[in-house]
Amino acid sequence: MCGIAAIFAYRPDAADVERAELVAIREAMRARGPDGEGAWIAADGRVGLAHRRLAIIDLSEDAAQPMDFANGRYRITYNGEIYNFRALREGLESQGRVFTTESDTEVLLHLYDALGADMVHELRGMYAFALWDEAKQGLLLARDPFGIKPLYYADDGKTLRVASQVKALLGGGRVDGAADAAGHVGFFLFGYVPEPHTLYRAVRALPAGHTLWVDAAGTRRMDRYFDVAAAFAESADGPPADLRAALSDSVRHHLVADVPVGVFLSAGLDSATIVGLASECHGANLDTMTLGFEEFRGGPRDETPLAEEVARTYGTRHRTEWVAGAAFRDHLADVFAAMDQPTIDGVNVYFVAKAAASLGLKVAMSGLGGDELFGGYDSFRQIPALVGALGRLPGLRALGRGVRVVSAPVAKRLTSPKLAGLLEYGTTYGDAYLLRRGLFMPWELADVLEPDMAREGWRALQPLVRLEDCASRVSGPRRKVAALEMAWYMRNQLLRDADWAGMAHSLEIRVPFVDARLFRSLAPHVGRPGGPDKGAMARTPATPLPGAVLARPKSGFSIPVRDWLQGGAGNGRGERGLRGWARRVYREATAAGP
């Protein structure tokens, strides 16, 4: 895993690339790549690439970046891992191509030379890269199908700036820090900033599954090559995939590395299944880590005993890291500093990544994505039930709006504010998803943001339109929910949190359940009667999971943030719970400024 940066002065009247700015952007991402650094600026000063390296594949200096091809015909700065790079390399070598390194980076350069931007269709992995084409005088940006790896850009109409982090772009000193109202509204609606927005109007996320081409001739083209809803819609009926073979194949590919790979292990089925399958591929001495909370020790929410039982079952080298409120308070400033965009989650990943790094690991696998793929959330039951009950009643949404206006003040004081919107937001999948996943409700935005910003941000974000568009392109109730969970919660919160929290400790987090090839093999049957579920997933390891883990009801992974805030890490204004934590996160994010 790495940090990448690029600056392209594509207009003739743009100022040349300044090395100081390029290096400042790069060095703002030092934690992403402590193993090496590199920078290149073209002789004419029109383009520059930079890189911070975390060496995972081909640890030699030969694999350093930015890497060039054919005496500078192409150059690339790249973040991520291409798990099928060896197979791709063999195919390219059969065409007579010669390689000088053992890296996946060099494979990307050869593949671009052979296929151009269509190369992305051949890649299996998580990636974000900026590739300079000297002959075409253009820069190609690409991001992996699910958006596991981040990529942000700022374009002022003359110069394109690119980096792995929003804060890095701002750290270069040339990006406008004016607020993006949609990003601010999105945070309070969902607890994360939905892409392509950020908190800043000038900075955008390259959407997952997209490429962007910009050249000196003025061409600017963004192409989508993967979309979750479209992939669901396009998946044809067929015989069920061999679930064990498909999952084992993904886990095996995610173990590709020239350094040891560990696994984050909880008491849940997802991570336990990963450990079971990884132990078959990896053999003995697989490293596993569990995060325990002192506030939960010995109680029903303590996951450590079952996690340790899983570790014994598969003979892993296991470590439990205990965290208490005092440690949370001690590291709170570091958490906020590492949090590239505000989020209400990710604290647990921060601490378990810290534990993994203390073991000397550079790579760890996570069970992230299992609930989305195999229908593990309550939303897979609740949202179809709500829409099924209310969606067939004509005029209910309009009636519900009137009920909400009258009842919202009372509902907010006596129970959840969501109750007031049950009729208004219970008739379509997009609305019901916002009701289920929303942090603050739309009618509360003016209480947490300046009213004009709230109105402007709501209009620009169009959350209900975008949510319904995602759901409407997929058939079947549970499949609709799966598409929404993958394209919104998983992409914008879980994957982004895994990136910033892991990178804070120079740790690469891999997610075998979030794999485009695995998804395509299972998509025809996901969410359909008889399709794969969490139980089938958990039965795939050859050595069965412990019975206590298989029998344990899903409880969700919780962290005692509320207890920690009440213990003294709060904001001094009496705010408690997740909504209070969101206000604290927002204040920290906006107080830091650009």
Return the closest-CA partner of residue 252 out of 236, 220, 274, 285.
274
Neighbours of 188 (CB within 10 A): 25
Q: Hey, which residues does 365 pair with through a beta bridge?
A: 263, 510
Which residue is catalytic, options 2, 111, 255, 323?
Answer: 2
By the 8 A CB rule, do 381 and 527 touch? Answer: no
Measured between alpha carbons, how far is 46 from 174 in angstroms, rounded to an integer? 16
By the 8 A CB rule, do 104 and 29 touch? Answer: no
Buried (b) or exposed (e) across 338-364, using 16+ Cβ within 10 A?
bbbbbbbbbbbbbbbbbbbbeeebbbb
Return the closest-CA partner of residue 42 out of 17, 62, 59.
17
Kindly state the helix (H) or strand (E) to which residue 215 belongs, with its residue range: strand 210-215
**The two structure tokens encoding residue 516:** 């485009």
CA 208 to chain centre: 9
Buried (b) or exposed (e) across 80-112, using 16+ Cβ within 10 A?
bbbbbbeebbebbeeeeeeeebbbbbbbbbbbb
Query: Angle 124-52-333 (CA atoms, 0-180°, nearest 5)?
Result: 105
The single-letter code of the amino acid at 340 is: D
Question: Is 470 assigned a catalytic role?
Answer: no
Torsion of CA 278, 549, 354, 296, to 10 degrees: 180
Can you give the length of the chain in residues? 594
- How many contiguous H segments (helices) and E segments (strands) does the chain have? 25, 17
Residues labelled as active-site residues? 2
